[in-house]
């Protein structure tokens, strides 16, 4: 399922970023090509101004001048004197083929149809009385080629000179094609990188969800497993109850009650952890006297310890302690879990010490016992849900949830909970809380 979601998220992320990239690239290309055309046209216009000014000042237009001007701008000139082509045209590359002729005709036709209204005025001092020039872009329908064209018209009395200046845009188009190809290749590389990035990025995003799903599945599996044993005992006791005599019946009913209590405590623990997971764990911090809470818990466990023939002691600082901001109910729950474990995992005749220490704005709550101890390799895992060290497996009514709840409580108080081995055997659990 997560594989599908991962692929879907990757496609979505890559799709959106690719779409943005393509739109931005197209926009950039459009603006840049527009600017290239405009710059080219402007420079063509400037050249034409220079050419027409120089033309105006000449009484005779020499072939040298024409070919020099052509070579300078990479242009092609076509001159008509009173409608008759210059000899220059016939001598240079501009041969009078029908193809070229029709191209020129189309050019002039376009010019006349668009710029007819502008008329040359009479007068002026130059050898040619009047001069005007018009620039436009021309794209003959049947060809791929595009040109900037200028028609310069000079008039002196009745004689007129028309000069067509053709600037092919092949170089510009080549430049634009190169730019497009470059962008295309860059975009393809960027899309590949973006897809890779999206794949890893969405994978990282999904990681906590996958992890929490895994934990949830494990939790449900472990919970079902733990619930099954007391339920099976209850069912079989109920079955046996049917045909048993009164004395046996009462024993079976006791078993049912006992297993029912175990089930209730397991379900309560599970509900506590689920409340903590969904941030519904009730937590009401207030200034509390930790020593009072420690004494109260100690007193509550005294009978249980005595029953198991364990010596339970409490150590408190002699000086008066500052108040600690904590949830009193949760602290008692935390100490109860630690003491309950200590009682459960310490054999008869053992010792349990409960102590409170205040040092450098920190409270140290310690529960140490001389019990079975926890192997170093298990010390990290015992805070995981449903985890029980091998040696503790036989303890009835222990499902491996107590320390998970304890560590959630400590987390809520922004404190720390750690476990160490006790020299000579046993375990030491230490809770550190801040004032």
Decide whether 132 or 379 has the Cβ nearer to ligand ADP: 379
Options 226, 369, 413, 415; binder of ligand ADP; rule CB under 6 A: 369
Which of 392, 409, 431, 433 is the binder for ligand ADP (CB under 6 A)?
392
Give the binding range for ligand ADP (CB under 6 A) out of 33-41, 105-113, 173-181, 364-372.
364-372
For the bound state, the minimum distance from the C-beta of residue 368 to ligand ADP, rounded and expressed in Å, comes to 9
**Number of other residues whose CB lies within 10 A of the CB of residue 409:** 25
Q: Which residues contact 211 (CB under 8 A, 6 or more apart)?
A: none
Q: State the CB neighbour count (10 A cutoff) for residue 112.
A: 10
Burial of 284 (0-12, 13-18, 19+ CB in 10 A): exposed
How far is Cα 158 from Cα 160, in angstroms, rounded to an integer? 6
Count CB atoms within 10 A of the CB of residue 155. 18
The reply on whether position 266 binds ligand ADP by CB under 6 A is: no
Helix (H) or strand (E) holding 268: helix 246-277
Among 14, 66, 151, 382, binds ligand ADP (CB under 6 A): 382
Answer for which of 237, 330, 365, 371 binds ligand ADP (CB under 6 A) is: 371
389 is a site residue for ligand ADP (CB under 6 A) = yes
Minimum CB separation of residue 342 from ligand ADP in Å reads: 5
Closest approach, Cβ 392 to ligand ADP, in A, equals 3
Query: Is 128 one of the binding residues for ligand ADP (CB under 6 A)?
Result: no
Distance CA 317, CA 358 (A): 7
CB 363 within 8 A of CB 410: no
Gap between the Cα atoms of 163 and 86, Å rounded:
10
Q: Does 388 bind ligand ADP (CB under 6 A)?
A: yes
Cβ 309 to ligand ADP, closest distance in Å? 17
Is residue 345 within the footprint of ligand ADP (CB under 6 A)? yes
Query: Does 398 sit near ligand ADP (CB under 6 A)?
Result: yes
Dihedral, CA atoms, 130, 135, 139, 143, nearest 10 degrees? 60
User: Under the criterion CB under 6 A, does residue 51 sit at the interface with ligand ADP?
Assistant: no
Nearer to ligand ADP, 55 or 392 (CB): 392
What element of type H or E holds 60?
Answer: none
Measured from the CB atom, the residue of 262 and 328 that comes closer to ligand ADP is 262
64 vs 58: CA distance, rounded Å: 13
Cβ 343 to ligand ADP, closest distance in Å? 9
Pairing outcome for strands 159-168 and 147-156: antiparallel
202 touching ligand ADP, by CB under 6 A: no
- Under the binding rule (CB under 6 A), the answer on residue 374 touching ligand ADP is yes
Chain-centre distance for alpha carbon 318: 55
Please pick, from the candidates 104, 263, 403, 433, the single residue that binds ligand ADP as defined by CB under 6 A.
403
Which residues sit at the interface with ligand ADP, rule CB under 6 A?
337, 341-342, 345, 369, 371-374, 382, 387-389, 392, 398-404, 427
């Amino acid at each position: 399922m997560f594989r599908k979601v991962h692929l879907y998220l990757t496609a979505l992320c890559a799709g959106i970023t690719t779409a943005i990239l393509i739109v931005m690239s197209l926009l950039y290309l459009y603006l840049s090509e527009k600017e290239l055309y405009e710059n080219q046209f402007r420079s063509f216009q400037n050249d034409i101004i220079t050419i027409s000014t120089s033309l105006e000042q000449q009484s005779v237009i020499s072939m040298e001048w024409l070919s020099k001007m052509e070579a300078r701008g990479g242009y092609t000139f076509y001159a008509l004197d009173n409608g008759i082509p210059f000899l220059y045209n016939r001598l240079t590359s501009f041969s009078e083929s029908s193809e070229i002729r029709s191209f020129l005709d189309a050019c002039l036709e376009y010019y006349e149809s668009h710029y007819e209204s502008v008329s040359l005025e009479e007068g002026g001092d130059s050898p040619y009385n009047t001069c005007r020039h018009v620039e436009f872009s021309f794209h003959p329908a049947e060809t791929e080629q595009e040109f900037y064209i200028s028609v310069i018209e000079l008039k002196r009395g009745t004689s007129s000179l028309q000069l067509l200046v053709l600037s092919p845009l092949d170089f510009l188009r080549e430049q634009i094609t190169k730019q497009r190809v470059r962008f295309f290749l860059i975009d393809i590389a960027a899309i590949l990188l973006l897809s890779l990035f999206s794949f890893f990025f969405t994978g990282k995003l999904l990681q906590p969800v996958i992890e929490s799903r895994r934990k949830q599945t494990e939790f449900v599996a472990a919970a079902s497993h733990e619930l099954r044993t007391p339920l099976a005992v209850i069912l079989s006791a109920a079955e046996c109850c049917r045909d048993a005599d009164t004395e046996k019946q009462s024993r079976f009913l006791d078993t049912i009650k006992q297993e029912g209590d175990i089930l209730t405590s397991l379900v309560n623990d599970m509900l506590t952890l689920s409340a903590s997971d969904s941030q519904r764990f009730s937590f009401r911090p207030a200034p509390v006297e930790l020593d009072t809470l420690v004494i109260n818990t100690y007193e509550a466990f005294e009978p249980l310890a005595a029953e198991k023939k364990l010596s339970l002691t409490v150590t408190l600082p002699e000086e008066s302690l500052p108040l600690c901001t904590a949830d009193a109910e949760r602290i008692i729950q935390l100490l109860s879990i630690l003491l309950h474990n200590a009682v459960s995992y310490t054999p008869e005749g053992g010792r349990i010490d409960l102590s409170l220490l205040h040092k450098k704005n920190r409270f140290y709550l310690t529960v140490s016992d001389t019990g079975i101890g926890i192997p170093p390799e298990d010390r990290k895992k015992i805070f995981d849900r449903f985890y029980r060290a091998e040696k503790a497996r036989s303890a009835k009514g222990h499902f491996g949830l107590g320390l998970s709840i304890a560590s959630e409580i400590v987390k809520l108080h922004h404190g720390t909970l750690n476990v160490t081995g006790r020299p000579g055997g046993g375990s030491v659990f230490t809770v550190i809380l801040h004032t």
